[in-house]
Every structure is written in C-alpha cells, then in structure tokens.
A = this chain, B = another copy of it.
C-alpha cells in the first residue's frame, strides 16, 4: 500500500516553518522560546489572523507572552517572508500567513462582509496602475471598502 499523499502543504511533512529556526540563526538572529511559541501558533493556522488573535494564541501556550515581543517577532518573520501584514477596513493589523499568492480584500460597509479579490479582478487593477502610472500596486496591504451587490441603497 502506497503512503498517503498529503492533501495540502499544511499537512505535508515539509513546511517553510521547519526551516524558520535555521533561517533565523543563519541571519545572525537567535532562536528563543518566545519565537518558537509564535512559530508553532502560526504553523497551526492558515490564511489570515489579526495580531491580537496571535497574541491570545501565544498566551494559551505560554502565559507569560508579552505583546511587544510578539509584534517584534512578527516584524522579523515578515522580513523573512513568512508572514505579510495588512490592514483591515478599520486600519487594524492583519497578517497573511505564508503569503505565496497574496490577494486583496473587499469590505462592504452595508453588511460588514469581506471577500478576497479574485486574481483576474486584481490583475485589472494592478495593470491599470502599472500602465498608467508605472506604479506597482500591493493589493494585499489594505482592505478596500464599498458596497456589495446586495447592499445598494
């Protein structure tokens, strides 16, 4: 019987998180218990998380977790490309975990729902700014507000 193939990257044996410790040390930084805690939390999740949620998750594993250390570690992981921060509709921080193909978000001020911007749609926006202004947009950094199809006055 052949070994079962993992369905997602998160279930497979190899994960970018496995190399986190090495990469941190290789860059002259230190592998500390606080950083290990955050990496374990992030490894167990996918998609998006708010900074506040991450602090809460870390505190579950280590009661002594401090916000400033989490924020500083997130900055470090962002430098390594393991997370990428953005802002929700209210300006609060959100993190994309393992941002391979990052995407933008839409928020409806009518119903409060959010959607991910599909690649085709995002491409139109990116190309408009690129061709008209030579500006390379990072759509994933902010949540664009508006009204969804179901919420027009």
* A contact set with B: CB distance below 8 Å: 87, 89, 91-93, 106, 108-109, 115, 118, 120-121, 124-125, 128-129, 132-139, 141-149, 152
Residues of chain B within 8 A of A132, CB atoms compared: 118, 120-121, 124
Assess the B121–A136 pair: CB atoms within 8 A: no
Assess the B146–A144 pair: CB atoms within 8 A: no
What's the Cα separation between A115 and B135 when bound, in Å?
A: 11
Nearest-CB residue, chain B, relative to A134: B149
Assess the B138–A145 pair: CB atoms within 8 A: yes
Chain B proximity of A121: nearest CB distance (Å): 5
Assess the B135–A124 pair: CB atoms within 8 A: no
Chain B proximity of A85: nearest CB distance (Å): 10
Residues of chain B within 8 A of A138, CB atoms compared: 109, 144-147
